[in-house]
Amino acid sequence: PTLLFGDSDKTFIYHGNEEYNTQAVKDLQIPVYEIGYEGGTIVGTAGDLSIGIFYPDTIDLRSDYILDKIVSILQNHGIAAEVDSNDVLVNGKKVLGSAHLTSNGFFVFVAYVSFSDKAELIQKICGDATKSPSHLIGISRSELIRGLSEWLL
């Protein structure tokens, strides 16, 4: 398996197949990366964390297993996290969005963990999202990275 972590110093959007306010994105001059996954729009900003996990699709682990592991790491830090579809919620609010796909013999899991408050920006781009956005408090980026690295590697 390959485990990648990334961050950005600029705001950007990963776009799946759901609609978003293209005019707001244009006005705000936010770059959009068309990923083509099943799911919504992920809005990333400085200080947040991207996670990528790649492994042969012959290994029988899928996104629900990975999300459960992330929730376990958060719960070990006293955070009341739960899986909701492809997302992780804390106190009923979305702090992590994920997507997955299988391509060229590999299973690809990507997630974006919010460590910054961008509820207003998400409202402009996504409108009234079905899941209220929030951000993680109670664990640092480095603690989450360490927990995932120790588990997977």
Give the pLDDT confidence of 6-21 residue by residue, as tens digits: 988 899 998 888 889 9
What pTM was estimated for this model as a whole? Answer: 0.87
Segment 80-131, tens digit of pLDDT: 999 998 899 999 999 999 888 888 999 999 899 999 898 889 989 988 766 7
What's the rounded Cα separation, in Å, for the pair 13 and 48?
A: 12
- Chain centroid to CA 93: 13
Instruction: Determine contact, residues 43/134, Cβ cutoff 8 Å.
Output: no
